[in-house]
Structure 1
């Protein structure tokens, strides 16, 4: 099997969105809560420890974070790195990122409102510019072209994190039983394809598997808004689908709150360019 086989396989099951920018803008507040000091996202600490143990995040290095969201990782990278650049297609994500960097009193970090698909490395002076290029659960790396561009921006290492499997106790019921949608398959073969493409390109990727089991707690109103945004439903409480979801959330709630168990298996891949 050649690279084209894995490229084609990688493209199967991808979710087409009318506007990816709007989708991520609508989820910016939710994502920012996950990286706030009050929440203390343990995933950030674990990845930072992993990078340090494997000498990926050296002191005074230059880092590019593709799909940085509200800047949870980029801000932490900047605390030890010489300079950090974060990019994202969502301006609302970047509004949070700017505020989070300012709150940490960081001046060595910048953010760009860019789509990785459209970035011209030569134009930005980013060819072999960074010691470390990361894409942590980022949809920005979604095919061979965007993967190769990630490699071309690095003069040291690349680090990529992606789901292999995920189970959401509430979300899955809403998808299958209320909205009668098929389970997403866009990440089923992603890691398999990335590993094999890198191998066939002559790289030697290291891979580590990480299991997580956590709980999200939301009020009924917050949960209604969250799932409506997630499934891109009409912003209309009278809509039949929204009403069905609201009724289900009220049924499973306890003291006005909805608890969702989220179990994931994630792959961390890194390689030297």
Structure 2
């Protein structure tokens, strides 16, 4: 891991919060959703089940919040961290931005590049894990007018957020979970497999918000409560459930067989409709507007 910089005008409060945040999200070795393999598996499913009207509404909310800062997207340098298949990178490129899209999943970036070619936009892609980036070696320090981290595990601790601040010379946008209630089958399945209740992991939107606040930034925040649903084949359900459970449990082929036995009777025509209740948060701030007074 690249050491955290010392020039973020940290104070006793922000250092204390950073230590708390680090402890809260400490998971040891990266597993499940923190691995490229998990997202390579997920790549082909992105945007497959999202109605176009809902996707357009989501994009409008994000862009409206970003543009409310006064940034001129046309001609701006944009870094999209954990860009995935390009749900933000491609629209921003259409708006005239010079977009650099970074992700540690090669399958996600293949989808992004394919879409960019089809839509005739130019996007620079980088296959790397965000936490290994050195801003000076990459030429990223204070390069970007807009730095984005949208619903990505790439920014999950103080070090990762600090890298955002180091690479931005203007606006930052972050979004993440405030709350997520998984499909009921996950809780029932977990109890069936491990004979204990599924323990919700802490959802982290408040962690980066408080860190920024204690550093002297005043992000503008917008929250949205929503219901998510998507159809999964039995094999997709198995891989998704196994991926999330593997953050705390050892999942082998025998365990996957047990997941298959569980979900097959609940599927219709070989597919299962998974439903989640979520609250997501998004925030924007200007790195040039920092109150460093104690």
TM-score (norm 2): 0.80
2:199 is matched with which residue: 183, 194, 215? 183
The alignment of Structure 1 onto Structure 2 pairs a total of residues equal to: 267
Q: Offset of 1:207 from its aligned partner?
A: 1.3
| Structure 2 gap ranges (5+) | 1-11, 288-294
Q: Tell which deviates more after alignment, 1-10 or 153-162.
A: 1-10
Q: Indicate the residue corresponding to 1:138 in structure 2.
A: 152
Equivalent position to 2:30, from 17, 22, 28:
17
Q: Structure 1 stretches of 5 or more lacking a match?
A: none
State yes or no: 1:2 paired with 2:13: yes
Give the equivalent residue in structure 2 for 1:48: 63
Partners of 1:111 and 1:25 in 2: how far apart? 16
The two structures, once aligned, show a CA RMSD in angstroms of 2.7
Summarize the Cα distance change of 1:225–1:160 in structure 2 as closer, same or farther, 3 Å threshold.
same
Aligned to 1:30: 45
Residues of 2 paired with 1:147 and 1:255: CA distance? 43
Distance 1:164 1:258, change over 3 A: same
Q: Deviations over 1:52-90 (max 9, x none)?
A: 344456322211001111212111111113300010111
How many angstroms apart in 1 are the aligned matches of 2:128 and 2:115? 19
- Is residue 222 from structure 1 mapped to residue 233 from structure 2 by the alignment? no
Please report how far the alpha carbon of residue 146 of structure 1 lies from its aligned counterpart in structure 2 after TM superposition.
1.8
Does residue 1:159 correspond to 2:173, yes or no?
yes
Counterpart mapping for 1:187-266 below 5 A: 187=203, 190-232=204-246, 236=253, 239=254, 241-266=255-280
- Alignment partner for residue 109 of structure 2, among 94, 108, 111? 94
Deviates more, 1:262-271 or 1:55-64: 55-64
Distance 1:213 1:39 in 2: 11
C-alpha distance in 2 between matches for 1:44 and 1:183? 32
Shift of 1:203: 1.2
Change (3 A) 1:44 1:81: same
**Runs ≥4 in structure 1, deviation > 4 angstroms?**
34-42, 232-235
The one of 56, 66, 78 aligned to 2:81: 66
Contact kept, 8 Å, 1:220 with 1:257, in 2: the verdict is yes
Q: Does 1:110 align with 2:124?
A: yes
CA offset at residue 49 of structure 1? 3.4
Q: Is the 8 A contact 2:190 2:198 kept in 1?
A: yes
Q: For residues 161-206 of structure 1, what are the alpha-carbon distances to aligned partners after superposition, in whole Å with 9 as ceiling and x for unaligned?
A: 010110121333323443447434242xx22221222122121111
